[in-house]
Amino acid sequence: MAALDRFEVEDLLHEYLEALDGNDRERFLATFTPDATILIDYGTHTETYSGSDGLNEFHAPRGGTAFHLTTDSRVEWDGETAIRSARFLAFPAAAADGIPVVRWIGRSRDTVVRTEAGWRISLRELWVLQGASPHPPQDGDG
């Protein structure tokens, strides 16, 4: 793929994080295909958010904003599909004592497809290596 495609995929992921961190639901939803899935593996359990209902549930207000950093980004191509992988750190944007604390450390992999509207995320997979789910499993969940 062309360098422009790589730039557009990276820009899409930047837009996703800016919208997520800024609690901007419309911008957040615009980065996904309508049937997209977010899959988060916390090690102890997995959370899945699919389609517009799932994406809206994932983006539910969190009582504040967050700040995400990504690094070691890599984009690989399979026809009109890009697989973008990275490592991430996530912080609450406003720590109670003013000292930022890392809430999550992990890896991400995004399957990004070319649509009529441009590149969009069809699958976002997260492996949280350190940090707990804001939605711990109930008895019987897995």
Are 84 and 71 spatial neighbours (Cβ–Cβ below 8 Å)? no
Contacts of 56 (CB under 8 A, 6+ apart): 25, 29
Are 133 and 47 spatial neighbours (Cβ–Cβ below 8 Å)? yes
pLDDT greater than 90 at residue 108:
yes
Separation of alpha carbons 93 and 2, rounded Å: 35
Separation of alpha carbons 10 and 6, rounded Å: 6
Mean pLDDT of 107-122: 96
Q: Domain range spanning residue 21?
A: 3-130
Sheet holding 104-115, edge to edge: 46-50, 32-41, 118-130, 104-115, 81-92, 66-78
Separation of alpha carbons 114 and 78, rounded Å: 11
Please count the structural domains in the chain. 1
140 assigned to some structural domain? no
Summarised one tens digit per residue, pLDDT across range 43-81 is: 889 999 999 999 998 887 655 567 888 889 999 998 889
138 assigned to some structural domain? no
**What is this structure's pTM?**
0.87
* CATH number, position 31: 3.10.450.50
Are 120 and 142 spatial neighbours (Cβ–Cβ below 8 Å)? no
Separation of alpha carbons 104 and 125, rounded Å: 14
135 assigned to some structural domain? no
What pLDDT does residue 92 have? 75
141 assigned to some structural domain? no
142 assigned to some structural domain? no
95 assigned to some structural domain? yes
pLDDT greater than 80 at residue 40:
yes
